[in-house]
Amino acid sequence: MNSSRRVTSRSVVLVALMLAALAMPLTATAQADQPCEAFPETTLEICGLFLSYWETNGGLPVFGLPLTAEFSELSADTLTPHDVQYYERERFEHHPENDGTPYAILLGRLGVNVLDAGGIEWMTLPKADSTDPHYTAATGQAIAPEFWAYWSGHGLDLGDAGVSFRESLALFGYPVTPAQVETNPDGDTVLTQWFERARFELHGDEVLLGRLSAEVNDDEGHLSIRVQAEMDAILRKNFDAYELPTGAFVSVTAEGLGEWVGNLGVADPATGAVYTDQTHHRIASVTKTFNGTLVLQLVEQGLVDLDTTVDMWFEGVTYGDRITVRMLLNMSSGIANYTENDDFWHQHLADPERIWTPEELLAYGFGAPPLFEPGARYYYSNTNYIMLGLIIEAVTGQDVRSLMQERIFNPLGLTHTSFPADDDTSLPEPYAVGITRNVFTGELFDATNWNPTLGGAAGQIISTQADMRVWARVVAMGELLSPEMQAERLTVVPANPDLDIDVGYGLGIERIFGWLGHGGHTDGYNTIVSYRPDLQAAIVVFLNSDTFPYDVQPPATQIFLDIALLLNREYPLPPASN
33 pLDDT tier (thresholds 50, 70, 90): confident
In this predicted structure, the answer to whether residue 23 has a pLDDT above a threshold of 70 is no
- Burial status of residue 308 (CB atoms within 10 A of its CB: 0-12, 13-18, 19 or more): middle
Of 56-60, 126-130, 205-209, 574-578, the range with the lowest mean pLDDT is 574-578
DSSP string, 325-341: HHHHHTT-S-PPPGGG-
Q: Domains plus CATH for the chain? A: 3-20+229-266+276-577 (3.40.710.10), 117-210 (no CATH)
| Pairing of the two strands 545-546 and 435-437 | parallel
- Burial status of residue 573 (CB atoms within 10 A of its CB: 0-12, 13-18, 19 or more): middle
For residues 277 and 286, give the distance between their C-alpha atoms in angstroms, rounded to a whole number: 17
Asked if 400 and 457 count as a contact pair (C-beta separation under 8 A), the reply is yes
Contacts of 420 (CB under 8 A, 6+ apart): 426, 452, 460, 462
Which candidate, 390, 393, 394, 412, places its Cα nearest to that of 402? 393
DSSP string, 187-209: S-EEEEEEBSS-EEEEETTEEEE
- Burial status of residue 318 (CB atoms within 10 A of its CB: 0-12, 13-18, 19 or more): middle
Which candidate, 473, 509, 475, 503, places its Cα nearest to that of 490? 509
For residues 394 and 45, give the distance between their C-alpha atoms in angstroms, rounded to a whole number: 64
Q: Residue 41, Cβ neighbours under 10 Å: how many?
A: 8
Amino acid code (one letter) for 517: G
Asked if 64 and 106 count as a contact pair (C-beta separation under 8 A), the reply is no
61 pLDDT tier (thresholds 50, 70, 90): confident
In this predicted structure, the answer to whether residue 17 has a pLDDT above a threshold of 80 is no
**Interval 295-342: pLDDT, tens:** 999 999 999 999 999 999 999 899 999 999 999 999 999 999 999 999
pLDDT of 187: 95
Asked if 549 and 8 count as a contact pair (C-beta separation under 8 A), the reply is no
Question: In whole angstroms, how far apart are CA 470 and each of 71, 409, 459, 476, 525?
Answer: 33, 11, 19, 10, 20
Which candidate, 483, 490, 520, 485, places its Cα nearest to that of 504? 490
For residues 198 and 195, give the distance between their C-alpha atoms in angstroms, rounded to a whole number: 5
For residues 433 and 81, give the distance between their C-alpha atoms in angstroms, rounded to a whole number: 33
Q: What is the mean pLDDT of residues 61-69?
A: 93
494 pLDDT tier (thresholds 50, 70, 90): very high
Number of residues in the chain: 578
200 pLDDT tier (thresholds 50, 70, 90): very high
Print the SS3 string covering 98-143: HCCCCCCEEECCHHHHHHHHCCCCHHHCCCCCCCCCCEECCCCEEC
Q: What is the mean pLDDT of residues 408-417?
A: 98
pLDDT of 445: 94
For residues 458 and 288, give the distance between their C-alpha atoms in angstroms, rounded to a whole number: 5
Please give the residue that has the higher pLDDT: either 469 or 440. 469
Which candidate, 192, 181, 177, places its Cα nearest to that of 142? 177
pLDDT of 219: 92
Of 3-7, 76-80, 136-140, 447-451, the range with the lowest mean pLDDT is 3-7
Asked if 122 and 114 count as a contact pair (C-beta separation under 8 A), the reply is no
Asked if 210 and 195 count as a contact pair (C-beta separation under 8 A), the reply is no
Asked if 212 and 186 count as a contact pair (C-beta separation under 8 A), the reply is no
How large a percentage of the chain has pLDDT more than 70?
94
Contacts of 345 (CB under 8 A, 6+ apart): 3, 6, 339, 439, 440
pLDDT of 170: 93
Q: How far is CA 361 from the centre of its chain?
A: 32
For residues 96 and 102, give the distance between their C-alpha atoms in angstroms, rounded to a whole number: 11
Supply the mean pLDDT for the chain: 92
In this predicted structure, the answer to whether residue 3 has a pLDDT above a threshold of 80 is no
In this predicted structure, the answer to whether residue 28 has a pLDDT above a threshold of 70 is no
For residues 546 and 556, give the distance between their C-alpha atoms in angstroms, rounded to a whole number: 10
